[in-house]
C-alpha cells in the first residue's frame, strides 16, 4: 500500500476509521512500569508501544472477535515483547502514513499498515528492513470475460485510494475508481460499481477464503511490481528502528516469522522473504 503524494481520486466510500480510536492488539497485558522508555527506547506513551495503522487491511490488520489481529500486528507484538510493554493500536487515516504526521506529533511510535517502501516515503519517515515481498492481483467477477491486466483497458477498475495498486493502474494508462478502504474496494466489485480491482495479492487471498467470494470472483493476473513492505518510525528514531529490525531478523532466524506467515498469509517460500541489511525502494 502506498502512492504518489498529491493524487486524490474520487472517493466512493468513507472509512469507518477515526483518528482518535485506540484498539488493543493481541499483546495487551502488562503495564510496562509506566516509563516513557522501554529497553532504552523512548516511547510516545508511557508503558506501551503505540502503533498507527489503518483498518481494515486483512490479513495484515483487521478487527477479529473484538481484537485487532493480523500479520503486521503479530510482528509488532514481537517488538513490544522485546521491549517489555504491550502494543496498542491506533486507527488513523491512511494518508498520514506518507507524511509521518502521527509519528512526528508523538501520537504513535511506529506505523504498520502493509506499507510499501518507496523513495518518496523515505523523505518523510525511516523504514525498517523489509518484512514482506508483495505483488498486485487483478480480481474480476467470474464470467466477466476479463482474462488479464491487459483486458482492463476501457473497463471501470477499482483500487484502494493512496495505494501502489492505484498508482500502478494509473501508470499503465487506466483511470481507477478510488475507494477509501479494502472492504469498500471489494464491495465496489460486488455491487458492480467496477468490473475489476487491482490490489495487493495477500488481501485478495484473504477475500477468497470466503466461499461466497471464491464462487463469485477469480484472480486473472498477478503483477510482480517489486514491492516490499516495511514498518516506519519518525526520522532519526534510530533506537526503535534498531529494535524493530532485530525483532524481524530474529523472527526469521528462529522460525517465528515462518509460523506467523503461514498463519496469516499462507504457504511460506523461504526464498520470498529475505531480510536485507537495509530497505530498498520498490521498482
pLDDT tens for 157-191 read: 999 998 889 999 999 999 999 999 889 999 999 99
Q: Is the pLDDT of residue 35 over 80?
A: no
- The hierarchical CATH code for the domain 134-226 is 3.40.190.10
For residues 103 and 107, what is the distance between their CA atoms, to the nearest angstrom?
Answer: 6
DSSP code, position 257: H
- Domain spans of the chain? 21-132+228-267, 134-226
pLDDT category, 276, cuts 50, 70, 90?
very low
For residues 97 and 55, what is the distance between their CA atoms, to the nearest angstrom?
Answer: 13
This prediction has a pTM of 0.74
Burial 126-158 (b: 16+ CB within 10 A, else e): bbbbbbbebbbbbbbbeebebeebebbeeeebb
Across the chain, mean pLDDT equals: 85
Q: Is the pLDDT of residue 269 over 60?
A: yes
Q: Which CATH architecture has domain 21-132+228-267?
A: 3-Layer(aba) Sandwich (3.40)
Domains 21-132+228-267 and 134-226 share a fold: yes
Query: Is the Cβ–Cβ distance between 116 and 164 less than 8 Å?
Result: yes
For residues 128 and 126, what is the distance between their CA atoms, to the nearest angstrom?
Answer: 7
Amino acid at each position: 500500500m502506498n502512492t504518489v503524494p498529491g493524487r486524490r481520486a474520487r472517493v466512493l466510500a468513507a472509512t469507518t476509521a477515526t483518528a482518535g480510536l485506540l484498539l488493543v492488539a493481541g499483546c495487551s497485558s502488562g503495564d510496562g512500569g509506566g516509563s516513557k522508555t522501554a529497553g532504552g527506547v523512548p516511547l510516545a506513551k508511557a508503558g506501551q508501544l503505540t502503533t498507527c495503522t489503518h483498518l481494515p487491511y486483512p490479513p495484515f490488520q483487521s478487527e477479529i472477535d473484538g481484537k485487532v489481529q493480523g500479520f503486521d500486528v503479530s510482528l509488532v507484538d514481537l517488538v513490544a515483547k522485546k521491549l517489555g510493554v504491550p502494543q496498542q493500536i491506533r486507527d488513523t487515516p491512511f494518508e498520514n502514513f506518507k507524511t509521518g504526521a502521527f509519528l512526528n506529533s508523538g501520537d504513535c511510535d511506529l506505523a504498520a499498515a502493509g506499507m510499501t517502501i518507496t523513495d518518496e516515503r523515505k523523505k518523510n519517515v525511516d523504514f525498517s528492513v523489509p518484512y514482506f515481498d508483495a505483488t498486485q492481483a487483478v480480481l474480476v467477477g467470474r464470467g466477466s470475460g476479463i482474462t488479464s491486466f491487459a483486458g482492463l483497458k476501457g473497463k471501470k477498475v477499482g483500487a484502494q485510494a493512496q495505494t501502489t495498486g492505484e498508482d500502478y493502474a494509473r501508470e499503465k494508462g487506466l483511470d481507477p475508481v478510488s475507494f477509501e478502504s479494502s472492504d469498500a474496494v471489494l464491495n465496489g466489485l460486488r455491487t458492480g460499481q467496477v468490473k475489476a480491482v487491482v490490489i495487493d495479492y495477500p488481501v485478495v487471498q484473504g477475500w477468497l477464503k470466503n466461499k461466497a467470494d471464491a464462487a463469485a470472483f477469480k484472480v486473472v493476473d498477478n503483477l510482480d511490481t517489486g514491492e516490499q513492505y516495511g514498518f516506519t518510525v519518525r526520522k532519526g528514531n534510530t533506537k526503535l528502528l534498531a529494535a524493530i529490525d532485530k525483532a524481524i531478523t530474529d523472527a526469521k532466524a528462529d522460525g517465528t516469522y515462518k509460523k506467523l506467515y503461514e498463519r496469516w498469509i499462507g504457504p511460506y517460500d523461504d526464498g520470498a522473504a529475505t531480510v536485507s541489511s537495509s530497505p530498498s525502494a520498490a521498482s
